[in-house]
Structure 1
Amino acid sequence: MSKDKKQKCCYIPERRGKVGGQAVLEGVMMKSGERVALTVRKDDGTKETKISKFVSIRKKNKFFNLPIVRGVVNFIEMMKLSFSTLNDSAEMLGIDEEMEETKFEKWLKKHFGKSVMDFIMLVAMVLGIALALFLFMFLPTFFTGLIERFTGDLGLWKSVIEGGFKVAIFVGYMLLVSLMKDIRRTFEFHGAEHKSIFCYEAGEELTVENVKKHSRFHPRCGTSFMFVMILLTIVVGLFITWENKLLRVAIKILLMPIVMGVGYEFLMYAGKHDNFLIRALSAPGLWMQRITTKEPDEEQIECAIMSLKAALPDEFPPEETGACTEEDGKDGENNTDATE
């Protein structure tokens, strides 16, 4: 069986969408409901699992669970969770301990104390969003404007060409970072995450051999979400007819929450349904996963399996998986560790 033609089977409806995940530094994070499980592989070959709790604001206020709105809320919360788990994985690997603190880091700790990591994550999130806006909003509009200097008004083609630049920038960026050794390792863990979730959704026993048989391309992946977002911005751009470049960018930014919300609803629908239209619209994102996921090795798959089982204690009791049970504590703060 080739790497691209993986086993296709029937999936258990109630398991689809029950668990999601993310690749981190030398490991995999899995989330089901309020439970978050993070497993990393250390340099000595041992694997450590950390269990924590993440309660969405959608649980506390019905407004944030409305269609479209929940997509925006989910994006913000997943950004926060992503930065948090990346930081946790670095701590579990001892990366922070190996690096000497800079004067700026010491100043931050002195003035912010324990909240310094929250401050750093906030700054990183803001910078990440700013970079994304520059790459996918400003640059495509700027390049399209340069073309119009030679061709004249592009009319409706303006939005399509801007979309083409967005795709080119996105693909080029991902190809570039995939050349980095550490990023490639993370993409391999990303593949392990997808394969293990597919195996679980198929109702198969979570073993390395069973997980190997499944595809590393998953329709609910964040990569697919990015492509759906790009396609939606092309459609939205058709209705933005103002010539002023800054005004066009500003209007697109203001419409981003709606685009995010619609993209999220589509991704959730695509993850639970399978028809020709869904396959056609999902195809670009799945193709992109050929870059953002790589075939994992057995130890990477084991990390993904450990995280998945730890995220589902009702189905995989802690005494069977080796993961610790969750202790009482504040939202997002209670966690325990288990080492294999």
Structure 2
Amino acid sequence: MSNKNATCANPRLGRVGGQAVMEGVMMKCGEKYSVAVLQEDKSITVVDGVHTPVRKKHKLLGLPVIRGIVNFVETMILSYKTLSVSADAFMGDIEEEETKFEKWLSAHLGAKLMDVVMTIAMILGVCIGLGLFIWLPDLVLDFIEWIGKFEFGVLRALFSGIIKIGIFVLYIFLVSRMSYIRRTFEFHGAEHKSIACFESGEELTPANAKKYSRFHPRCGTSFIFVMMLLGILVFTLVFMIPGANSAWYIRLPLRILLLPLIVGIGYEYIMFAGKHDNAFTRFFSAPGLWMQRLTTHEPDEDQLKVAIIALKCAMPDTFDRAEVDAELEALKPKKEEPEESEESEENEEKTENDEN
């Protein structure tokens, strides 16, 4: 049997996915997801949830390419939601006095406050992403053309793509220097290792998971790189159309309008690459896997435990939840019984003597 066929025959491939969150890992299998968070006392808090993809309700949204666009939007929403869940789970016991502004927000928005904050954060994230990866590269190339008195022509897409990749690599490199981001990248590595261990069919233990690579072909990092490479190809073809590359106010709307198409095609490729191991997929997956050297780090045993717990909780049909709960209970620190003081012992002796 060829390696390709062997890969396709593995029923565990692609069943579960996840992401690193604040001091933990989120795992998702079908509509079920679980967020496991490591506490300071080494215990693990688990928050379960259900997310029904909208494409299950509307068959049209499940068609190839379209499903990738829908999945991208839903993944962003779920990512922000689970990040909020992990922050609440980790900082739940920390009580801070609310500021006047926070009290005003709570009074006017109530239970909807977190939804509003998440929506604003997501919109800001999208705007910053569009600015950095669409507007800024175009602005840099316009400036170079103005200084050099020449035009890039159809090569604009290539140089724009190179600038985008440079910005992305530099950004990841800089944020990875921050201690809390590095720790998140360690949980990212734990997520990949535990999924690889599960997909191999080996028993899910920290010792077994540790043996596997922290790089995974279906990672979001690989997806971003695939989108950048696809963008170079798509816009090279688009800029061959007369007038498409004539001015920024034409290029910018074209880039935004074609972005969903690139996202959809990129999703289909990532799904294909995750289930096929051949020269073609290895070649195009290589840049994303190289980039994971920055976005993942080797996890410790506690981080692997967290990832494994999250995976097991997200797959109740495969793993016995009662066993997982027992494991979680065992991780909780035992309460020490207060020792009897010397004074109480002396009082007891005195009482006995008085009785005698």
Q: What TM-score does the superposition give when structure 1 sets the normalisation length?
A: 0.90
Which range moves more in the overlay, 104-113 or 231-240? 104-113
Alignment equivalent of 2:193, drawn from 189, 192, 195 = 195
SS at match of 2:26: strand
CA distance in structure 2 between the aligned counterparts of 1:88 and 1:176, rounded to whole angstroms = 26
Aligned-partner residue type, residue 191 of structure 2: E
Shift of 1:98: 4.2
Match of 1:170 in 2: 168
The one-character-per-residue Cα deviations of 1:178-230 (angstroms, maximum 9, x if unpaired) are: 01100000000000000000000000000111101101110111001110111
* 1:308 pairs with 2:323: no
Match of 1:333 in 2: none
CA distance in structure 1 between the aligned counterparts of 2:249 and 2:95, rounded to whole angstroms = 45
Shift of 1:154: 1.2
- Report if aligned partners of 2:42, 2:331 keep a CA contact under 8 Å in 1: no
Shift of 1:160: 0.5
CA distance in structure 2 between the aligned counterparts of 1:100 and 1:87, rounded to whole angstroms = 19
Q: What TM-score does the superposition give when structure 2 sets the normalisation length?
A: 0.86
The residue correspondences of 1:1-340 to structure 2 (distance < 5 A) are: 13-94=10-91, 97-149=94-146, 150=148, 152-238=150-236, 239-240=238-239, 241-322=244-325, 340=332
CA distance in structure 1 between the aligned counterparts of 2:28 and 2:144, rounded to whole angstroms = 45
- Report if aligned partners of 1:49, 1:323 keep a CA contact under 8 Å in 2: no
Aligned-partner residue type, residue 164 of structure 2: K
Which structure's residues are more often helix, by fraction?
2
Distance 1:95-1:231 versus aligned 2 partners, 3 A rule:
farther
Match of 2:346 in 1: none
CA distance in structure 1 between the aligned counterparts of 2:216 and 2:287, rounded to whole angstroms = 12
How many residues in Structure 1 have an aligned counterpart in Structure 2? 319
SS at match of 1:280: helix
User: Any unmatched runs of 5+ in structure 1?
Assistant: 1-9, 325-336
CA distance in structure 2 between the aligned counterparts of 1:167 and 1:60, rounded to whole angstroms = 36
Aligned-partner residue type, residue 217 of structure 1: F
Distance 1:288-1:95 versus aligned 2 partners, 3 A rule:
farther
CA distance in structure 1 between the aligned counterparts of 2:330 and 2:149, rounded to whole angstroms = 63
SS at match of 1:205: coil
SS at match of 2:111: helix
SS at match of 1:215: coil
- Report if aligned partners of 1:34, 1:56 keep a CA contact under 8 Å in 2: yes
User: Any unmatched runs of 5+ in structure 2?
Assistant: 1-5, 333-356
CA distance in structure 2 between the aligned counterparts of 1:53 and 1:32, rounded to whole angstroms = 10
Distance 1:99-1:229 versus aligned 2 partners, 3 A rule:
farther
CA distance in structure 1 between the aligned counterparts of 2:155 and 2:52, rounded to whole angstroms = 44
Distance 1:210-1:256 versus aligned 2 partners, 3 A rule:
same
- Report if aligned partners of 2:22, 2:83 keep a CA contact under 8 Å in 1: yes
Aligned-partner residue type, residue 212 of structure 1: K
CA RMSD of aligned residues (A): 1.8
CA distance in structure 2 between the aligned counterparts of 1:323 and 1:256, rounded to whole angstroms = 47
Could you tell me the percent identity over the aligned residues? 51
CA distance in structure 1 between the aligned counterparts of 2:65 and 2:96, rounded to whole angstroms = 42
SS at match of 2:166: helix
- Report if aligned partners of 2:193, 2:210 keep a CA contact under 8 Å in 1: yes
